[in-house]
A and B are shown apart, each in its own frame.
Chain A
Amino acid sequence: MARAVTPARTWMMTIAAWSVALLIFFPVLWMILTSFKTEASAVASPPQLFTADWTTANYAEVWARSDYPRFFWNSVVISVGSTLLGLIIAIPAAWSMAFVPGRKTKDLLMWMLSTKMMPAVAVMIPLYLVFQRIGLFDTKTGLVLALMLMNLPIIVWMLYTYFKEIPGEILEAARMDGASLWNEVLYVLTPMAVPGIASTMLLNIILAWNEAFWTITLTTTKAAPLSAFIASFSAPQGLFYAKLSAASTMAILPILILGWFSQKQLVRGLTFGAVK
């Protein structure tokens, strides 16, 4: 039986959805508001959501004190680079797992996923030493490789799920039509999996952009991305909440804008194949 959709029910659902959304968004909102406060009103007790003396001085000081464009560029290179490299490796891997699975494919997928369950700190020392030894420490190449490897299980899993939704007969038809393996992937599989590939790409750019543990551990100055930029504002002299908030807002703003404009694509990709 279909569930009755009454106006009252619609209102309740809308209010509930907005409440949850605001609850999730509140810390971000607090951070943005704090970034426009003076240091004194940022630490006022009791806390103030709004203040009388709004200022943009924090942004000016953060901009003047550090080389924001360099951190921003490093973040772009690291997140986009690691995602693209991950896709280049994961598309053929997911193709073979989805369309020509072996006896151990399921085990392999589980093993790949299990590596994500391992605490990152457990491999911190070996990875740190290896990166130092082979000259990848504090390089963008090193971070691209590290983040690609960290996110590869997720990329493979997501693509595998999308590829499984593509009927095998269509790929067989391409094979009958004379398509080589490369042409099959290029002309048939990839265009059909575009929503899935796009959402995988977006999600991984966001994950890589927000990654802080490895980006802070494996960099000092040259390759440091925006996560390290934020960390640099937690000074030993004490926390300057307003400036820290301004730096954080500047760090998350690009990815927030990307997420906002691509939300339709993300939702479409994440629910791809859920309804036939």
Chain B
Amino acid sequence: MGQITLKQVRKSFGDVHVIPGVDLDINDGEFVVFVGPSGCGKSTLLRLIAGLEDTTSGTIDIDGKDATNLPPARRGLAMVFQSYALYPHMTVRKNIAFPLKMAGMSQAEQDQRVERAAKVLNLGSYLDRRPGQLSGGQRQRVAIGRAIVREPAAFLFDEPLSNLDAALRVGMRQEISELHQSLKTTMIYVTHDQVEAMTMADKIVVLNAGRIEQVGAPLELYNKPKNLFVAGFIGSPKMNFVTGPEAAKHGAHTIGVRPEHITVGDGPWEGVVGLSEHLGSDSFIKVDVPGIGVINIRAPGELGVHHGHTVRLSPGHRIHRFDEKGLAL
């Protein structure tokens, strides 16, 4: 089981209200990603669930029981830290076995569980090494191994891939997703990388200044953002926002068009190409449209336009409309 419910959870540091009040339901077996810009409170929220920070008010229920005041060890959760947080003086075997030792498990049972975890994570040949002798990816696997041996109600990941290089990050991302598929245990994952959020999550929680802006499946957030913040945060490059007469034509205060939904060649907008980046698979261009502003465009394949060219653009039909408060219409 791994059902977690937050009811009006608040966290303040002195006069600073980091989490002004959060309600959230996380279902058993779900892969939930907390995403948001730096300082939005996503790591704090995770640490409140872990018990590493005390809540100022509100309750945290784990599997129907109030865990708000329980110490971290008694919540039945396991956590993987951004810095891996391995014990440098212990071998990989002892690192993975540490939570089992603390639980007073027999040596035979400890060995059996460590071997099983090592097999799942391909760590068999590193068991007698120390963390300092391992690469970043291997260290991350040890940290995950230390979490899975406990067979927790839920896993908490605090930006676990941010210290890895780009190629390794993609590999580990897939490994964590596969681990979730095989264990079917609740996972809460904090990241500021929306690609991780979109590819791994069953449910994304978008946070801004400690508040939940929207909760939903990845494509739901992409297709139906509730407000300007979510619309701008989900999707890369960022959604283009246009205000003024052009927005009024669509009966909105602001309209938003995703860069990948704009077509180049024909259309009502005309502008001069500023920056153009050609990756082969995609082309990214910025076009300065008089009266509208700079429009970002992402087009598949090779687009034969370069700096200084004049192009015509069409916003297409997938236009998002927002009122003056920034809420979706």
Q: Which residues of A contact B (CB under 8 A)?
A: 167, 169-170, 172-180, 183, 187-188, 191-192
Q: Which of these binds chain A: B72-80, B190-198, B228-236?
A: B72-80
- Given contacts A176-B73, A179-B73, whether A167 and B99 have CB atoms under 8 Å apart is no
* Chain A hits for B146, CB < 8 A: 173, 177
CB of B85 closer than 8 Å to a CB of A: yes
B112 to chain A, nearest CB (A): 18
Say whether A192 contacts B72, CB under 8 Å. no
A179 nearest in chain B by CB position: B102
Which of A167, A183, A191 is close to B102, meaning CB atoms less than 8 Å apart?
A: A183
Which of A172, A175, A188 is close to B87, meaning CB atoms less than 8 Å apart?
A: A188
CB of B98 closer than 8 Å to a CB of A: yes
CA distance A175 to B72 in the complex (A): 6
Say whether A173 contacts B102, CB under 8 Å. no
* Chain A hits for B87, CB < 8 A: 170, 173-174, 187-188, 192
The interface centre, meaning the residue of A175, A177, A187 with most chain B CB atoms within 10 A of its CB, is A177
Chosen A-B contacts, 16 in total, with CB atoms closer than 8 Å, are A167-B85, A169-B82, A169-B85, A173-B81, A175-B71, A176-B50, A176-B73, A177-B73, A177-B98, A177-B146, A177-B150, A179-B102, A180-B73, A183-B102, A187-B98, A192-B87
CA distance A7 to B187 in the complex (A): 60
CA distance A188 to B102 in the complex (A): 12
CA distance A191 to B88 in the complex (A): 9
A169 nearest in chain B by CB position: B85
CB of B103 closer than 8 Å to a CB of A: yes
Say whether B85 contacts A170, CB under 8 Å. yes
Say whether A175 contacts B52, CB under 8 Å. yes
A170 nearest in chain B by CB position: B85
Which of A167, A177, A191 is close to B89, meaning CB atoms less than 8 Å apart?
A: A191
* Chain B hits for A192, CB < 8 A: 87-89
Q: Which residues of B contact A (CB under 8 A)?
A: 50, 52, 71-73, 77-79, 81-83, 85-89, 98-99, 102-103, 146, 150
Main secondary structure of the interface of B (DSSP, over half): loop
Instruction: Please give me the 3 A-B residue pairs with the lowest Cβ-Cβ distance, nearest first.
Output: A178-B102, A173-B85, A177-B99
B302 to chain A, nearest CB (A): 44
Say whether B73 contacts A178, CB under 8 Å. yes
CA distance A178 to B78 in the complex (A): 10
* Chain B hits for A188, CB < 8 A: 87
* Chain B hits for A176, CB < 8 A: 50, 52, 72-73, 77-79, 99
CA distance A177 to B104 in the complex (A): 12
* Chain A hits for B150, CB < 8 A: 177-178
B270 to chain A, nearest CB (A): 53
Say whether B73 contacts A167, CB under 8 Å. no
CA distance A188 to B99 in the complex (A): 12
Say whether B88 contacts A173, CB under 8 Å. no
* Chain B hits for A174, CB < 8 A: 87, 98
B75 to chain A, nearest CB (A): 9
* Chain A hits for B78, CB < 8 A: 176
CA distance A187 to B73 in the complex (A): 16
Say whether A173 contacts B73, CB under 8 Å. no
B73 nearest in chain A by CB position: A178
B97 to chain A, nearest CB (A): 10
CA distance A191 to B95 in the complex (A): 14
* Chain B hits for A179, CB < 8 A: 73, 98, 102
- Given contacts A175-B71, A175-B72, A177-B102, whether A169 and B88 have CB atoms under 8 Å apart is no
* Chain A hits for B79, CB < 8 A: 172-173, 176
A194 nearest in chain B by CB position: B89
* Chain A hits for B89, CB < 8 A: 191-192
CA distance A176 to B153 in the complex (A): 13
The interface centre, meaning the residue of A167, A172, A188, A192 with most chain B CB atoms within 10 A of its CB, is A172
Say whether A169 contacts B99, CB under 8 Å. no
CA distance A174 to B79 in the complex (A): 10
